[in-house]
Structure 1
Amino acid sequence: MTALRTADGYTFADEGGVGSGGAAPTLLLFHGTGGDERQFLSLAREFMPGARRIAPLGDVSEGGARRFFRRRAEGVYDMDDLARATAQMADFVAARVAETPVSNGMERGGPVIGLGYSNGANILASTIIARPDLFDAAVLMHPLIPWEPTPRAIGTRILITAGERDPLCPAPATKALARWFGEQGAATTVHWHPGGHEVDRSEITAISKFLERERERAAA
């Protein structure tokens, strides 16, 4: 059953729970511009049925469309608001992970995995860059990070999915982000499809395989 909760600056959907020994994954879902906390829940149920699934609703409105931080134009971010949103999201994620029950004397529960699309991928990427300790793995669907982050060690396993003709997230920017993550030590894979900003069926397949490997890793 899905519970709708409000805490730490966000309204969010919260469903599922821990599995045997508290080792079930916690899966955080971040919607794209104009989406909401329900956008990826059904997909997450299919791909990670045993996970705790948490999906915050963006706290910024752009002409009625929900986002996680403000922008001044397409691809031009309000960097002050991005800093605000990144710190707030990091605190939110840490609080949700801390409240997940742990059993059998384990020091922590299962892996923490993020999945975000477009604006949701951007706040997820920014949070990973700021707090690499929070996420064990992440799926970034059509991300755009139009600045050069400060180098730091990142151990997160990352799948980036993108369109070769995406007008909102140009291929060179995607390649630059993937290269940057790799240079920081993150195991990074990129899946391309021949289209634009839409989510292609091949992306869903790539994400399914990535999350299946994460499930197997958690069960091992």
Structure 2
Amino acid sequence: MALGDYEHVWEPATEADAPTLLLLHGTGADEHDLLPLGRALAPGAALLSPRGTVDENGMNRWFRRLREGVFDVEDLVERTGELAAWTGEAVRAYGLDPERIVVSGFSNGANTGAALLLLHPGLLAGAALFAAGAPLQGREPAAVDLSATSVFLGSGVADPITTIDQARLLGRQLRERGARLSEHEHPGGHQLAPDVLAEARSWFSASGF
């Protein structure tokens, strides 16, 4: 993969020895959408924010879906591999510490972040995922070792798009593979609730990335 294969925004760290946040937007958004989230979640961190390459009726996505809530899992696997390769290229191009990359995403981007964890262990030091579900629908992920990975999951109990059952299934899959998991549920729907963001910021600060 070449760095130009994804339109992206790169913002260098404003604090010395800060980690890098890989920001993955939701359906219909772009590389600018989650920059405020990145700045709020980890002030001073470097921000690497690419744009998904799948076009669904004019909306940017990270992988195809067959219909609402039903993923094209083969496409997800392929495109997650491409994103993992591109992230490695960005690490080299921007001189990043490969052991201090943390992904954060919302909805489609959060599902993609979860797929990166499960399919490419060792790529990421951690993840803060909002409205994420188990990405490999109908498949049990390989028994990878995520014991060195810290993960925050923020989920809505009333979410009609990423159901709480799917969110809890992802949590189980991550725990069973050794991830250090912090799960936070809010009573709302498909949103990034302010109190969950506050909890995520505290989690990030305490994780020592």
Normalising by the residue count of structure 2, what TM-score does the alignment of the two structures yield?
A: 0.90
Q: CA deviation at 1:31?
A: 0.3
Out of 67, 83, 102, the position equivalent to 1:113 is 102
Root mean square deviation, CA, Å: 1.8
Distance 2:193 2:5 in 1: 32
Is 2:171 the partner of 1:178?
yes
Pick aligned residue for 1:131 from 109, 120, 132:
120
Helix, strand or coil for the counterpart of 1:84?
A: helix
The within-5 A match list for 1:1-220 is: 7=3, 9-17=5-13, 19-20=15-16, 23-101=17-95, 108=97, 111-145=100-134, 146-147=137-138, 148-154=140-146, 155-214=148-207, 217-218=208-209
Percent identity, aligned pairs only? 32
Distance, in Å, in 1 between the alignment partners of 2:124 and 2:9 is 19
Q: Structure 1, residues 82-128: CA drift from partner, whole Å, max 9, x if none? A: 122111011011111223437xxxxx466111100000001111111
**Alpha carbons 2:3, 2:89 under 8 Å: kept:** no
Gaps of 5+ in 2: none
- Report how far residue 45 of structure 1 moved: 2.0
- Name segments (4+ residues, structure 1) moved above 6 Å: none
Letter in 2 for 1:152: V
Q: Does structure 1 conserve the Cα–Cα contact (< 8 Å) formed by 2:99 and 2:124? A: no
Q: Give 1:18 shift.
A: 7.3
C-alpha separation in 1, matches of 2:76 and 2:37: 27
Structure 1 position 19, deviation (Å): 4.8
Give the Cα–Cα distance (whole angstroms) in 2 for the partners of residues 203 and 84 of structure 1.
31
Shift of 1:205: 0.9
The 8 Å contact of residues 18 and 25 in structure 1, kept in 2 or not, is answered as no
Letter in 1 for 2:168: K
Structure 1 residues 1-26: Cα deviation after superposition (integer angstroms, max 9, x where no partner): xxxxx825211000123754xx3201
